[in-house]
Amino acid sequence: MRRHRYGLSQALLEAVMVLVTVVFAAPLYLLLVFAVRHRGDLETSAWAFPTHFDLSNFSTAWTSASLGPALLNSTLVTVVSGALVIGIGSMAAYYLARSKTRLSYGLYLLFLGGLIVPFQLGLVPLYQGMRDLNLLGTPLSLIIFYLGNLMPFTVFLYAGFLRALPPSYEEAARIDGASHLQAYVFVAFPLLRPVTGTVLILNAIGTWNDFFTPMLYTGGTKSQTLPVAIYAFVGQYSAQWELVFAGLLIAILPILIVYFLLQRSIIQGFASGVKG
Amino acid sequence: MSDLPHPKVAMQSTRILKKRRVAGVPWYFLAPALLAYILVVVYPIVAGGSYAFTDWNGLNPVKTFVGLENFRRLLQDDQALSSLKNTVLITLSVTLVQNTLGLLLALGANSTIRTRFLLRTVLFAPAVISSLVAAYLWQYLYDPNVEGGINALLTDVGLKSLRQDWLGNPQLALFAITGTVVWQYTGYSMVIFLAGLQGVPVELYEAAELDGAGAWQSFWNVTRPMIAPAITVNLMLSVIGGFKLFDQILAMTGGGPGYATSTLSLLMYKQAFVFSRFGYSTATALVLAIIIAGVSLLQLKLLRSQELEG
């Protein structure tokens, strides 16, 4: 089919696809127009592009949901845990992929087990550990949580990539007198760039949007992340939808902007990441 | 990966020096990750697994071993049984609808239509936003009394009789949540199918056409086996995602009306953090973990056998 030139059947297919996509995009469109619509603008339909704009909802939502601090907390947690996971996760995968002992294979399987056993099983003990260490309500508790929980996936992707990468480059560097760490940092790690991109994208989007654990660890404190702040905010203003929608829009705007800027790599990351 | 140049000289000298120079990446490469993983994942999971056999309430430092008592209670608890049923039902409905739609859209986008890149970008967009935000957005659309909601739209197009209390009707609420999940992740399924479809060599379709295969035959005998890994990955993602579903349910219905949309993840959360029944909660988590681990292993096995065939 794909060899044929653009004909009637292609035009028909295109029309159907566009229609379906419009339906899928509609809720996001509603979110956008509803959030900027003037509250008195009742003569037009909720779906119509607004004639009177009102941006005061944004400032109200921004302050009453404390979205500023939440944005900072989310950024802090995502950036720090993302960087640490890549640093120590790729090094662990390097060890596991390059050392051929039975113990290292066993440890690799231990990491993979984390992909299969859901973290919910350890939910209560981990929560109590965090509580006993006085870490609840701090961004550090979430950074530690993600450091452990993103590890299986990160190690899995890096180790898969490293196994297919011949060790000759690092070995050449070693022969030239580089230490293991130097050979890794300056020779091996730069070669891992494609997988680093995938890991970075998947981990960052997952962390940024995660709700369950941040709610348990930081709910109601000044360390709450964006989804937690939104949860509290909607609970409080559930009847005032214009206000709620303004808050929701602020919450997803950063990630949508990043998405539209980097959409090609993000989509590729999602499509390839799961295949390993 | 395989197209990297091989520096011959380095390879040869390597062979000589391999033993001395390369043997053993030092242990400190592994230590930080292993430590974090054991402390944050392995230890809590082992401890959690053992709490499932106690009556621990979180306050009393003594955890009495009660054997299978928690599991026996689970089987007699109406909320637990509805939660199990709902978890299976929503997982099946999301998996079926999301993957069917995702595959159809991927087939449509894997063509010469002019807007294919734009459509792919727009269709995938919901997958990057917070599931909590998606849930609130749909809570509005499902609200029977708001302007611009689904009921208002139905009235506008003359289908007044189809109006429903989408989240308030116990028969419908679970499927309304399915709709939200499908809306958010169909683009994700599509992208994975699309990656699979793009790997199918055009010659295979040409050969099938020469052999007189129709569109359906060529799909079934060429496309389907070639995208088998994408099918497995997609099924695995939506099944595991379905079993773990939590955010949307907490935000949209809180498990109600009654227990009509309660799931195992929600039950586990409520037992621990609302009712302080930690032993009971971890027993629920253990049941959920066994289901998820079982399904994952089964699917990984299927994936591997397909890869061997291909």
Q: List per-residue pLDDT tens for chain B, 310 residues long.
A: 344 445 554 555 555 454 444 457 888 999 999 999 999 999 999 988 888 888 877 666 777 788 788 888 888 888 888 899 999 999 999 999 999 999 999 999 998 888 888 999 999 999 999 999 999 999 999 998 888 888 888 888 888 888 888 888 888 999 999 999 999 999 999 999 999 998 888 888 888 888 888 888 888 888 888 888 888 889 888 998 899 899 999 999 988 898 899 999 999 899 888 888 888 888 888 888 888 888 888 877 877 776 555 4
Answer yes or no: do A21 and B41 touch at CB < 8 A: no
Residue of B nearest to A210 (CA): B130
pLDDT tens digit sequence for A216-231: 999 889 999 999 999 9
* DSSP per-residue codes, B148-202: TSHHHHHHHTT-GGG---TTTSTTTHHHHHHHHHHHHHHHHHHHHHHHHHHTS-H
Cβ atoms of B122 and A256 closer than 8 Å: no
- B139 vs B143: CA distance, rounded Å: 6
| DSSP helix/strand/coil, B105 | helix
What pLDDT was estimated at residue B23? 56
Cβ atoms of A91 and B36 closer than 8 Å: no
Cβ atoms of A46 and A34 closer than 8 Å: yes
Chain A residues within 8 A of B110 when measuring between CB atoms: 2
Answer yes or no: do B45 and A16 touch at CB < 8 A: no
Domain definitions of chain A by residue range: 8-54, 60-273
- Beta partners for A37? A53
- A146 vs A85: CA distance, rounded Å: 8
CATH domain B78-309 topology: MetI-like fold (1.10.3720)
The C-alpha of B171 sits at a distance from chain A's nearest C-alpha, in angstroms, of 24
Residue of A nearest to B105 (CA): A17
- A77 vs A204: CA distance, rounded Å: 9
* Residues whose CB falls within 8 Å of the CB of residue A270, separated by 6 or more in sequence, listed in order: A201, A202, B124, B127, B188, B191, B192
- A147 vs B264: CA distance, rounded Å: 26
- B215 vs B107: CA distance, rounded Å: 12
Helix-, strand-, coil-residue percentages of chain B, each rounded to 5: 75, 0, 25
Helices (H), ranges, chain A: 8-36, 56-64, 67-98, 102-116, 123-132, 139-149, 151-163, 168-175, 180-182, 189-191, 193-209, 212-218, 226-237, 241-261, 263-273
Residue A38 identity? H
Under DSSP, the state recorded for B146 is S
C-alpha distances (whole Å) from B101 to each of A150, B106, B193, B269, B308 are 30, 8, 11, 32, 28
The C-alpha of B282 sits at a distance from chain A's nearest C-alpha, in angstroms, of 6
Q: What is the CATH number of domain A60-273?
A: 1.10.3720.10
| DSSP helix/strand/coil, B65 | strand
State whether the Cα torsion A265-A267-A268-A274 is positive or negative.
positive
- B243 vs B289: CA distance, rounded Å: 9
Chain B residues within 8 A of A164 when measuring between CB atoms: 1-2
Chain A residues within 8 A of B237 when measuring between CB atoms: 274
Cβ atoms of A135 and A66 closer than 8 Å: no
Q: Is B212 left (phi over 0), alpha (psi -120 to 50) or beta?
A: left
Domain definitions of chain B by residue range: 78-309
- A121 vs A99: CA distance, rounded Å: 31
Dihedral of the CA atoms B211, B214, B217, B218 (nearest 10)?
70
- B177 vs B288: CA distance, rounded Å: 20
Residue of B nearest to A88 (CA): B33
What pLDDT was estimated at residue A204? 92
Angle at B255 between CA B186 and CA B290, to 5 degrees: 70
Cβ atoms of B191 and B124 closer than 8 Å: yes
Dihedral of the CA atoms A57, A59, A64, A70 (nearest 10)?
120
Answer yes or no: do A149 and B126 touch at CB < 8 A: no
User: Which among B80, B93, B265 has a CA at the least distance from the CA of B176?
Assistant: B93
- A122 vs B43: CA distance, rounded Å: 8
What pLDDT was estimated at residue B306? 65
Q: Which residues of chain A have pLDDT under 50?
A: 1-2, 275-276
Answer yes or no: do B289 and A120 touch at CB < 8 A: yes
The C-alpha of A138 sits at a distance from chain B's nearest C-alpha, in angstroms, of 16
Nearest to B48 among A10, A121, A169 (CB): A121
User: Which among A203, A213, A178, A195 has a CA at the least distance from the CA of A275?
Assistant: A195
Answer yes or no: do B187 and A24 touch at CB < 8 A: yes
Cβ atoms of B128 and B188 closer than 8 Å: no
* Residues whose CB falls within 8 Å of the CB of residue B136, separated by 6 or more in sequence, listed in order: A230, A234, A244, A248, B251, B252
For B18, the token pair is 């391999």
What is the number of CB-based contacts under 8 A between chain A and chain B?
Answer: 297
Angle at A174 between CA A171 and CA A177, to 5 degrees: 155
Pick from A24, A208, A212, A244 the residue to mutate for testing the B interface (most B CBs within 10 Å).
Answer: A24
- A226 vs B131: CA distance, rounded Å: 12
Chain A residues within 8 A of B148 when measuring between CB atoms: 30, 34, 45-47
| DSSP helix/strand/coil, A220 | coil
